[in-house]
A and B are shown apart, each in its own frame.
Chain A
Amino acid sequence: MTYSFQFRDVFAAWEFLLDGLVLTLELSLVTMVAGLVIGLAGAAGRVYGPAWIRRPIAVYVETIRNTPLIVQLFLIFFGLPSAGLKFDANTAAFIALSINLGAYSIEIIRAGLEAIPRSQIEAGQSLGLSGLQVFRHVIVFPALKLMYPALASQFVLLMLATSVVSQISAQDLFHMASIIQSRTFRDFEVYILVAAAYLALAMIFRLLFAGLYQLVFARR
Chain B
Amino acid sequence: MSLVELTDVVKRYGTHTVLNGVSLNVERGEIIAIIGRSGSGKSTLLRCVNGLEPIQGGTVTFDGTIVNDPGTDLRKLRQHVGIVFQSFNLFPHLSVEKNITLAPKVVKHVPPAEARQLAEAVLRKVGLAEKIDAYPDQLSGGQQQRVAIARSLAMQPVVMLFDEITSALDPELVGEVLKVLEEMARDGMTMMLVTHEIGFARKVANRVVFMHEGRIWEEGPAAATLARPRTPELETFLSAVLH
Q: Interface of A with B (CB < 8 Å)?
A: 119-120, 122-130, 133, 137-138, 141-142, 145, 219-220
Complex: A123 Cα to B91 Cα, angstroms: 9
- Tell me the count of chain B residues lying within 8 A, CB to CB, of chain A: 25
A120 touching B93 by the CB < 8 A rule? no
Q: Does B37 contact A (CB under 8 A)?
A: no
Is B224 close to A, CB under 8 A? no
- In the complex, whether B158 has a CB less than 8 A from a CB of chain A is no
Contact A127 B52 (CB under 8 A): no
Most buried by B among A119, A137, A141, A145: A137
Please classify the interface of chain A as helix (H, G, I), strand (E, B), loop, or mixed, using the class held by over half of its residues: helix
The residue of chain B having its C-beta at the shortest distance from the C-beta of A145 within the complex is B93
Evaluate whether A133 and B106 lie within 8 angstroms (CB atoms) in the complex, with A122-B52, A125-B78, A219-B135 already known: yes
Q: For chain B residues 69-98, which have a beta carbon within 8 Å of chain A?
A: 74-76, 78-79, 81-83, 85, 87, 89-93
| Alpha-carbon distance A128/B50, docked complex (angstroms) | 10
Please state if A127 and B102 are interface contacts (CB–CB under 8 Å).
Answer: yes
Q: Does B151 contact A (CB under 8 A)?
A: yes
Q: List 7 A-B contacts (CB under 8 A).
A: A122-B85, A123-B85, A123-B91, A125-B78, A127-B107, A128-B155, A137-B102
Report chain B residues within 8 Å CB of A138: 91
Q: How far is the CA of A127 from the CA of B99 in the complex (A)?
A: 11
The 5 closest A-B pairs by CB, nearest first: A127-B103, A123-B89, A128-B79, A128-B107, A128-B78
Given A120-B89, A128-B103, 5 more A-B residue pairs with CB atoms under 8 Å apart are: A129-B106, A137-B102, A142-B93, A145-B93, A220-B135
A-side contacts of B155, CB under 8 Å: 127-128
Interfacial residues, chain B to chain A (CB-CB below 8 A): 50, 52, 74-76, 78-79, 81-83, 85, 87, 89-93, 102-103, 106-107, 135, 151-152, 155
Most buried by B among A124, A127, A137: A127
Complex-state Cα separation, A119 to B151, whole angstroms: 15
A150 and B74 alpha carbons, distance in the complex (Å): 37
Question: Which B residues are CB-close (under 8 A) to A129?
Answer: 75, 102-103, 106-107
Q: Please, which residues of chain A bring their CB within 8 A of the CB of B76?
A: 128
User: Would you give the shortest CB distance from A174 to chain B, in whole angstroms?
Assistant: 40
The reply to whether B93 and A126 contact each other, CB–CB distance below 8 Å, is no
Q: How far is the CA of A122 from the CA of B91 in the complex (A)?
A: 11
Chain A positions within 8 Å of B82 at CB level: 126
Q: Is the CB of A119 within 8 A of B52?
A: no
Taken together as a complex, chains A and B put the C-alpha atoms of A127 and B155 apart, in Å, by: 8
- Nearest-Cβ distance from residue A112 to partner chain B, whole angstroms: 13
A11 to chain B, nearest CB (A): 49
A127 to chain B, nearest CB (A): 4
Bound together, the chains give a CA A13 to CA B82 distance in angstroms of 69
CB pair A137–B106 under 8 Å, yes or no, is: yes
Contacts of B93 on A, CB cut-off 8 Å? 141-142, 145
Which residues of the partner chain B approach A130 to less than 8 Å between Cβ atoms?
75
A126 touches B50 (CB 8 A): yes
